[in-house]
């Protein structure tokens, strides 16, 4: 005798599989990116930042690109205010993510200040890829929680283990953060305008690196977007 599945049972099973897929994807992103916190801990220690300072940065700042920019500028001998300005500028992109996510997630007001701390590249990417609000909330929460816990844990381990590694620059770990950021950014460059902005930003940043003080090239590279948009408007 063949058993007939009720429509409700089929729908429930499909829903469970969909939620499991969201959790799996979110955990994959959280674990993969969270492990690079080890590289940040090592790089921070190599820049003369204490274990406590590195851990506080990961706990309170929690945006990898900005953290790497800050310690990278300090390691290059940059002015602390210039280094902080570059890190702050990179972090402002999260505000634009927040504008979109606030509409998508529609969280209760009491949760919004806590959720805002998790608005970063990875959580935004996972949440925005979901087909509905419930899945977006689940993806955002799982990605944020797993990434926050693992990033802070590996920051501590990396900072503590920096002395055992010796010369941290010889390991090339300072490139881990930018590499992760570029890996996440590359698939999002779908139009010619976006690719032109990225290319010009790279040229400006790398070209001015030997000329300007540490921390300033990234600020100048931000001019790539208005420059490309202005040129596009002129051609139109």
pLDDT score recorded for residue 2: 46
* pLDDT-based confidence at residue 45 (cuts at 50, 70, 90): confident
| 30 in a structural domain | yes
Quick count: other Cβ atoms within 10 Å of Cβ 116? Answer: 15
Least confident of 33-42, 74-83, 227-236: 74-83
Asked whether the CA dihedral 191, 140, 143, 181 is positive or negative, the reply is: positive
Q: Which of 119, 151, 166 is the last residue of a domain?
A: 166
Judge whether residue 174 has pLDDT over 60.
no
Note whether 150 and 195 are same-domain residues.
no
Cα–Cα distance for residue pair 196/177, rounded to 1 Å:
23
Dihedral pair phi/psi, residue 212, rounded to 5°: -90, 160
Q: Mind listing the pLDDT tens digit for each residue in 181-195? A: 566 566 667 788 878
Q: Note whether 153 and 199 are same-domain residues.
A: no
| Domain span holding position 40 | 12-166
Query: For residue range 105-162, what is the model confidence (pLDDT) as tens digits?
Result: 999 999 999 999 999 988 998 999 999 999 999 999 999 999 999 999 999 998 888 7
Same domain, 153 and 230: no
Query: How does the average pLDDT of the chain come out, rounded?
Result: 81
Q: What was the pLDDT predicted at 7? A: 54
> What percent of the chain shows pLDDT beyond 70?
83
- Give per-residue burial for 118-141: e unless 16+ CB within 10 Å, then b: bbbbbbbbbbeebeeeebbbbbbb
For range 97-105, the mean pLDDT = 91
- 177: in domain: no
Q: What are phi and psi of 122, to 5 degrees?
A: -70, -45
Is 125 in the same domain as 222? no
pLDDT beyond 90 at 223: no
Classify residue 183: in a domain, yes or no: no
The more confidently predicted of residues 7 and 152 is 152
Q: What is the pLDDT of residue 165?
A: 65
Which of 92-106, 124-138, 204-218 is least confident? 204-218
Within-domain flag for 211: yes
| Residue 193, domain member (yes or no) | yes
Predicted local confidence at residue 164, as pLDDT = 67
User: Does the pLDDT value for residue 12 go beyond 90?
Assistant: no
Return the biggest CA–CA distance within the chain.
80
Q: What does the block give as tokens for 173?
A: 């770990």
How many CA atoms within 13 Å lie on the side-chain side of 151? 29
16 and 61 in a single domain? The answer is yes
Of the CA atoms within 13 Å of residue 28, those in its CB half-sphere come to 8
Percent of the chain with pLDDT over 90: 29
User: What single-letter DSSP state applies at residue 118?
Assistant: T
- For position 204, what pLDDT does the model report? 84
Give yes or no for a contact between 158 and 41, defined as CB atoms under 8 angstroms apart.
yes
What is the number of domains present in the chain? 2
3 lies in some domain: no
pLDDT at 167 > cutoff 70: no
Are residue 16 and residue 79 in the same domain, yes or no? yes
């Amino acid at each position: 005798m063949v058993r007939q599945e009720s429509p409700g049972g089929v729908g429930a099973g499909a829903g469970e599989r969909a939620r499991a897929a969201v959790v799996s994807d979110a955990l994959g992103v959280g674990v993969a990116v969270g492990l690079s916190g080890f590289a940040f801990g090592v790089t921070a220690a190599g820049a003369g930042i204490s274990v406590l300072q590195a851990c506080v940065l990961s706990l309170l700042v929690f945006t990898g690109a900005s953290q790497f920019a800050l310690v990278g500028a300090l390691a290059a001998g940059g002015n602390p205010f210039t280094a902080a300005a570059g890190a702050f500028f990179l972090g402002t992109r999260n505000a634009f993510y927040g504008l979109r996510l606030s509409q998508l997630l529609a969280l209760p007001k009491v949760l919004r200040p806590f959720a805002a701390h998790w608005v970063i590249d990875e959580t935004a990417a996972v949440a925005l890829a979901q087909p509905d609000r419930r899945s977006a909330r689940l993806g955002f929460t799982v990605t944020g929680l797993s990434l926050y816990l693992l990033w802070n844990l590996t920051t501590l381990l990396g900072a503590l283990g920096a002395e055992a590694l010796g010369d941290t620059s010889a390991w090339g770990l300072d490139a881990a953060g930018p590499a992760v950021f570029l890996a996440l950014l590359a698939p999002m460059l779908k139009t010619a305008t976006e690719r032109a902005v990225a290319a010009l930003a790279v040229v400006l940043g790398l070209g001015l690196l030997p000329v300007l003080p540490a921390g300033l090239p990234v600020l100048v590279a931000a001019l790539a977007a208005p420059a490309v948009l202005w040129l596009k408007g002129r051609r139109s």
